[in-house]
Chains A and B, each alone.
Chain A
Amino acid sequence: MTLCRRAAFVHLMFVVAAAATGCSRDAGDQRATLRLWAMGREGEVVSELIPAFEREHPGIRVQVQQIPWSAAHEKLLTAYVGDATPDIAMLGNTWVPEFVALDALEPLDSLVASSTYVRRSDYFPGIWSTNVVNGATYGVPWYVDTRVLFYRTDLLAKAGYDKMPATWREWRAAMVRIKAGMSPRQFPLLIPITEWPPPVIMGLQTGSALLRDDGRYGAFSQPPFKKGFEFYSGLFRDSLAPVLSGSEISNIYQEFERGNIAMYISGPWQIGEFTNRLPRALQDKWMTAALPGVDGPGVSLAGGASLSLFRSSAHKKEAWKLMEYLSRPDIQLQFYKLTGDLPARREAWRDSSLAGNRYARAFREQLDRVVPTPPVPEWEQITTKVIEHGERAVRGRNSIDDALAGLDRDVDVILEKRRWLMERRTAERR
């Protein structure tokens, strides 16, 4: 009954799709039609790369569907339930484990091994590993994303530093000196307390694996994470960073321009924003720097988006050709120029447009030191708990120990189903 209805529904969708795309095309069109779903700006721009691909492969036609980020997750899940997934989708790389859990994605290892275009060795290892779940690869990195420091060079120089320090101790000392020359409502660093990456990055820098026992339990109350979290919350306690949530910061560029903040941890999309929104007088007074670490350059998060192939695709061979095409260094560069998204291929970084961009340099350096978040489908939910308990500690509602113990308690509840599934699987194997 359900299957029947699902099939009928899918047929209906095809009829609608056919009507929508226009029936003027010849009935004798033998080309395979690939459906590619991509989110946000990338979804808009990728269409511009498609005509060249269709010229190279006359037998393949590509239909791009742009999905808003806010609806993407739900739409992909609904498509999975309704048996209407596309051939290829762009997936934020924390989503990959989730769709692997649904068994919706095709493992790509053998395709990668025999490919002349997708060479694993040319990717940043930390980024590639975000696509590996239980030892198999389920996505090819499309563009990369990590967090670095954006800072005011003049404010740092005024405090006596000609470049960003690389260790926590010196970084903190620099912030204290910057703070000394500021009014009480100005702060050396801005890290919105409603963002999970900063505390997680600092925990990763002190060597925490975030979860333990193969993702069965949280490891937030254990010493490595606690050490990082103490540094993080100390920044607020000592007024080096303001206790502000993301929605309270109306215009970060204005605050940066007025010198109300001197440093900000953010991602590659801000290069364009800072270039466009800061006044000309300030353009040679800001720079990016890789994140400081405990005793030297520190790690950051491996982020970005991947292209994944759906198991239910009827045109896997053709779809892989498109994935190979979008992974080619020259196409990656073209994509970078269109979107500002940083390419996943190291070869593309050697091009002058990137190698010559002084703001991109810190990202290039940082990308060699990126760590993925735990590959469990529950990760996104865990991040909301990190924010929640982190906020309690930062606002002084809970001690650090209580907050982290509470965080682990919540995380263990979230992971209960995962533990049950894993134990059942081991029992079956026995």
Chain B
Amino acid sequence: MQMTASRLRIPSEANRAAWFFLAPALALIGIFFFLPVAAAMLLSLTDFDLYGIASPLNTRFVGFQNYSRLLRTPDFWLALRNTFYFAFVGGPLTIAVSLGAALLLSSKLVRFKGVFRTIYFTPFVTTLVAVAIVWRYLYHARYGFFNYALSYIGVDPIDWLGDPNWAMPAIILMAVWKGFGYNMLIFIAGLQAIPEELYDAAEIDGAGTFRRFFSITLPMLSPTLVFVTVITMIGYFQLFAEPYVMTQGGPLRSTTSVVLLMYEEGFRWWRMGYAAAIAFVLFIVILLATLVQFRLQKERDA
């Protein structure tokens, strides 16, 4: 208590200087972040749309009607369900694959590490739209590579992008392939930071590979893991480009994400008020998900 009080006592001149130095950044954040957010908040309380563009008199203040209507729309819940599906299946899968790849590339047995690292990282830097178009061919029900390969092990053709049950797994598969390279690099950096002596000591104590992984690697990687999880989840909650290019949200809206729904309402139908409400709901969902992750992490550390 005493300490915090003394720490807060800063000379007023220094205080003023601090504000002076902070001012440009604060002004930029204020103008380009908080102001638009406040404007969007106001917008979400109106029914501003195409007619509103024609004349401001055509816009009504509707209070929280956009929100209540949104929560009553089956399409929104479907989009939310799809987004969760993508984030909670695709997210852990991406993390598992990237951790696996990072462990492989950190192994002393693997040669040409630089080459593999580059190859694994390439999908991440490739344009998503180009990738999605190529994958659409790979997924083709009749002429695609996947079904061709599956036919050799006797699996009947799967209508990847046309079947409402398969479309989301297909998108997840592509997203994992596309995204794991970035997390892999971060994991490799995290693995390199683990002191070699720990493994040496464990080996002398007779710990096997799995024991070393669960008792040294995983705990030591924990901060990296938290970072990767949070960043991946935030990114995955904003799923948009993959379904936009590959399926346009179909079939039967099975790949319509919340952001895609927002895009459609806002920029296709120009119902800006409604779209702004979707944006805020998504913001709250992401905020809650992130808080839950931090809380879980804290409990584990404690």
B-contacting residues of A (Cβ < 8 Å)?
Answer: 74, 77, 80-81, 98, 101-103, 194, 244-245, 247-248, 250, 377, 381, 388, 391-392, 395, 397, 417, 420-421
Whether A397 contacts B49 by the Cβ 8 Å rule is: no
Taking the closest CB of chain B, its distance from the CB of A39, in whole angstroms, is 17
A-contacting residues of B (Cβ < 8 Å)?
Answer: 47, 49-51, 53-55, 58, 60, 136, 140-143, 159, 161-162, 164, 247-248, 250-253, 267-270
Which of A102, A247, A250, A381 gathers most chain B CB within 10 Å? A247
Cβ-defined partner of A417 (8 Å) among B51, B251, B267: B51
Taking the closest CB of chain B, its distance from the CB of A410, in whole angstroms, is 9
Specify the chain B residue showing the minimal Cβ separation from A420.
Answer: B60
Whether A391 contacts B251 by the Cβ 8 Å rule is: yes
Taking the closest CB of chain A, its distance from the CB of B7, in whole angstroms, is 45
A98 to B142, CA, bound (A): 40
Specify the chain A residue showing the minimal Cβ separation from B141.
Answer: A248
Taking the closest CB of chain A, its distance from the CB of B124, in whole angstroms, is 25
Taking the closest CB of chain B, its distance from the CB of A108, in whole angstroms, is 19
Specify the chain B residue showing the minimal Cβ separation from A255.
Answer: B142
Whether A102 contacts B54 by the Cβ 8 Å rule is: yes
A74 to B162, CA, bound (A): 29
Interface of A is mostly: helix
Known: A247-B136, A248-B162. 13 other contacts (CB 8 A): A77-B50, A77-B53, A77-B270, A81-B53, A101-B54, A247-B161, A247-B247, A248-B159, A250-B140, A381-B269, A391-B251, A391-B252, A417-B49
Chain A contacts of B54 at CB under 8 A? 101-103
Taking the closest CB of chain B, its distance from the CB of A49, in whole angstroms, is 32
Cβ-defined partner of B251 (8 Å) among A81, A101, A245, A421: A245
A194 to B53, CA, bound (A): 30
Chain B contacts of A244 at CB under 8 A? 162
Cβ-defined partner of A101 (8 Å) among B51, B141, B159, B247: B51
Taking the closest CB of chain B, its distance from the CB of A15, in whole angstroms, is 26
Chain B contacts of A77 at CB under 8 A? 50, 53, 270
Chain B contacts of A101 at CB under 8 A? 50-51, 54
Cβ-defined partner of A74 (8 Å) among B55, B247, B253, B267: B267
Cβ-defined partner of A421 (8 Å) among B58, B159, B161: B58
Taking the closest CB of chain B, its distance from the CB of A77, in whole angstroms, is 7
Chain A contacts of B159 at CB under 8 A? 248
Chain B contacts of A102 at CB under 8 A? 50, 53-54
Chain B contacts of A80 at CB under 8 A? 53
Chain A contacts of B140 at CB under 8 A? 248, 250
